[in-house]
Amino acid sequence: MEALMQENRVFHPPADFVKGAAIPSMEAYNKLCAEAEKDYDGFWARLANENIYWKKPFTKVLDESKAPFYKWFEDGTTNASYNCLDINVEKGLGNKTAIIFEADDGTVSNVTYQEMLERVCKMANALRKMGIKSGDRVIIYMSMSIEGIVAMQACARIGAIHSVVFGGFSAKSLQERIVDVGACAVITGDEQLRGGKPLPLKVIVDEALTLGGCEKIKNVIVYKRTGGNVAMTAGRDSWMHDVVANESTTCEPEWVSAEHPLFILYTSGSTGKPKGVQHSTGGYLLWAILTMKWTFDIKPEDIFWCTADIGWVTGHSYITYGPLAVGATEIVFEGVPTFPNAGRFWHMIQKHKATIFYTAPTAIRSLIKASSNDEAVHPKSYDLSSLRLLGSVGEPINPEAWMWYYENVGGSRCPIADTFWQTETGGHMISPLPGATPMIPGSCTLPLPGIMAAIVDEAGADVPNGQGGILVVKRPWPSMIRNIWNDPDRFVKSYFPEELGGTLYLAGDGAIRNKDTAYFTITGRIDDVLNVSGHRMGTMEIESCLVANPLVAEAAVVGRPDELTGEAICVFVVLKGGRPTGDDAKKIATELRNWVGKQIGPIAKPKDVRFGDNLPKTRSGKIMRRLLRVIAKGEEITQDTSTLENPAILEQLKEAL
Ligand code: PRX
């Protein structure tokens, strides 16, 4: 933190970037901010009218009467798929490549806007034929593919609400989401291919559907990706190619209110149960479009590449909706960055002449490591001269990784947009504007125009620059979360807590603003949420999973810093049968890791497992997690342990396996 605040290298936007930029100076940025300050409704109304096709124009911009259940553009009607596809075809972009898809094995297939529109219409017609209507929920459990994007767009076209579940989640996680969202259909694949290996999808869906509560599922639609052997249940399961075969290539969109939910995406919070983050249609789409224009400065000739998965919000906003809504050409990649070798990203940038590249710090850090003693996979061995802008998302990017990215990938000529945002925010909140904002490595700089981000203390009062605090947003914005599906109370309590006065949006992160520049630096989560390789994980979720194992009596989960993954999951376990040692302990640790992998998904597997006869507790029985955090880091405990009931336990827990 100290080092970050002392970071004084400043990188100004390059002159030739500034020339054509959408926001070409700090004056232009300040002007937009001032416009929002002066007339908030007018600012958003202007942008919504300029950027979205409204079937029926809205007459009211923001309705705050039921705050914090804000409504934007509510009486306006529109359709997200129409705004992404039809609009571009009507503008004459039918023959423009919408998606350059590169498969795991390097095979490339392109689709134009016209073809995308036809495929989405066919799929939308097929869904309608199955009886799926506006407002129905559809689970999408697919790998990175054109078909995945078609499935999402087809739902949007008919007003069905999609809920994409990341392909790395387990059957149990999938079932929990199917039940919570009350889905009537699942769209999946036979298998997915990653790093040359087929991984199951359909088998996991089949298992999920046997776990109970999934009786509402009437249809399972399967995209044939590998041709692997999967069971098809008659009357329920069908192949995607069969259901679309005879459908028309046109499909009248469902014109929905701007407030109609476009999707629900589950994310982790500070309890054991993931939250179904509900997003709107109009406000969400508006911000996806504006951030494509402002943060990514998208131009008609750009080749845009966001490496995220459609299972996360980044894939929603910057693969499925944002790039298509602005008529861009984008790369969609099925595989992993290390296959067939760790030069895959650089090779693909060179091959497809990508101009904008948006990835996660974890990927950057792992590729720094992989190329440190292997010239062949170092970005310098590739022609990356097509790049003009880089982006980072999902976790703090440390200044060393920033510098490496800037120099080796961007050739010291591309600005880096370090974009701070969340599943709940729908799109970027705080980020440099590449043609305007001077960049400081490790800082996400300033809020985008119209985003009233601030830092407050525990009572909700502003703190001065230079003093750390809680990151909040003071005014509602169009792409904000609308609700937690099925749990409006949790929505209010999680995001608009009474303690802060009830009107501030609580992001869940700590932050600090620089005394001189007022730039924001995110200091990490202030709740029980971990960020492992940019994946968000609740410690309570992992704890409840562990205590569900028959061997486990008690468990506590904390994070510790990790060079590669940002944070690593560290678990402290008390077994029912006493504390294991030696090979026994190793065996049980592996068993517990696999258990978490099976119950939640491989991304939640703990890195460290430690056993004790007990956990450090206060006399009232509360687990002292702050001590566990110190032990997890391998540091000496210098904090006060006088309230600790059982100090001897600390020595046991220090023993790593
Ligand atoms: O802690 C922040 C971190 O990721 C969290 C949001 O995670 P999720 O909802 O999964 O969305 C990830 C993709 C938008 C935030 O609360 N985070 C995200 N971007 C940054 C970041 N932390 C620091 N800098 C960022 N640029």
CATH number, domain at 567?
3.30.300.30
Q: Please tell me the distance from the alpha carbon of residue 318 to that of residue 360, in angstroms, as a whole number.
A: 13
Q: Is 544 part of any domain?
A: yes
> Would you say the CB of residue 416 lies under 6 angstroms from ligand 1?
no
CA–CA distance from 387 to each of 17, 346, 414, 443 (Å)? 11, 11, 7, 22
pLDDT given for residue 36 in this prediction: 98
Beta-sheet pairing, 529-532 with 535-538: antiparallel
CA–CA distance from 130 to each of 133, 140, 231, 484, 615 (Å)? 9, 16, 21, 28, 53
Domains of the chain: total: 1
* Token code pair at residue 571: 């678990």
451-498: per-residue pLDDT in tens? 999 999 999 999 999 999 999 999 999 999 999 999 999 999 999 999
247-259: per-residue pLDDT in tens? 999 999 999 999 9
338-382: per-residue pLDDT in tens? 999 999 999 999 999 999 999 999 999 999 999 999 999 999 999
The per-residue pLDDT of the chain, averaged, comes to 96
pLDDT given for residue 139 in this prediction: 98
pLDDT given for residue 646 in this prediction: 83
Q: Is 578 part of any domain?
A: yes
Confirm or deny that 491 is annotated as ligand binding. no
24-29 mean pLDDT: 98
CB count within 10 Å of CB 50 equals 10
Q: How confident is the model at residue 2 (pLDDT cuts 50, 70, 90)?
A: low
147-166: per-residue pLDDT in tens? 999 999 999 999 999 999 99
Write out the residue range of the structural domain in which residue 566 sits: 533-653
558-590: per-residue pLDDT in tens? 999 999 999 999 999 999 999 999 999 999 999
374-422: per-residue pLDDT in tens? 999 999 999 999 999 999 999 999 999 999 999 999 999 999 999 999 9
**H/E element, 178:** helix 171-181
pLDDT given for residue 257 in this prediction: 98
Best residue among 287, 393, 395 to mutate for probing ligand 1, ranked by most atoms within 8 Å of CB: 395
Q: Is 591 part of any domain?
A: yes
Residue 546 reports pLDDT greater than 60: yes
Q: Is 70 part of any domain?
A: no
pTM of the model: 0.95
**H/E element, 198:** strand 197-200
Residue 1 reports pLDDT greater than 60: no
How many residues are listed for the chain in this entry?
657
Residue 4 reports pLDDT greater than 80: no
Burial zone of 581 (CB within 10 Å; 0-12 exposed, 13-18 middle, 19+ buried): exposed
Nearest to 447 by CA among 264, 287, 322: 287
Confirm or deny that 239 is annotated as ligand binding. no
Best residue among 421, 437, 529 to mutate for probing ligand 1, ranked by most atoms within 8 Å of CB: 421
Q: Is 414 part of any domain?
A: no
DSSP H helical ranges for 89-145: 113-129
**How remote is the CA of residue 313 from the centroid of ligand 1, in Å?**
10
**How remote is the CA of residue 8 from the centroid of ligand 1, in Å?**
24
How much of the chain exceeds pLDDT 70, in percent?
99
pLDDT given for residue 6 in this prediction: 65
Q: Is 198 part of any domain?
A: no
Q: Is 645 part of any domain?
A: yes
278-326: per-residue pLDDT in tens? 999 999 999 999 999 999 999 999 999 999 999 999 999 999 999 999 9
Q: Is 279 part of any domain?
A: no
Q: Please tell me the distance from the alpha carbon of residue 542 to that of residue 597, in angstroms, as a whole number.
A: 10
**How remote is the CA of residue 536 from the centroid of ligand 1, in Å?**
8
Higher pLDDT, 3 or 87: 87
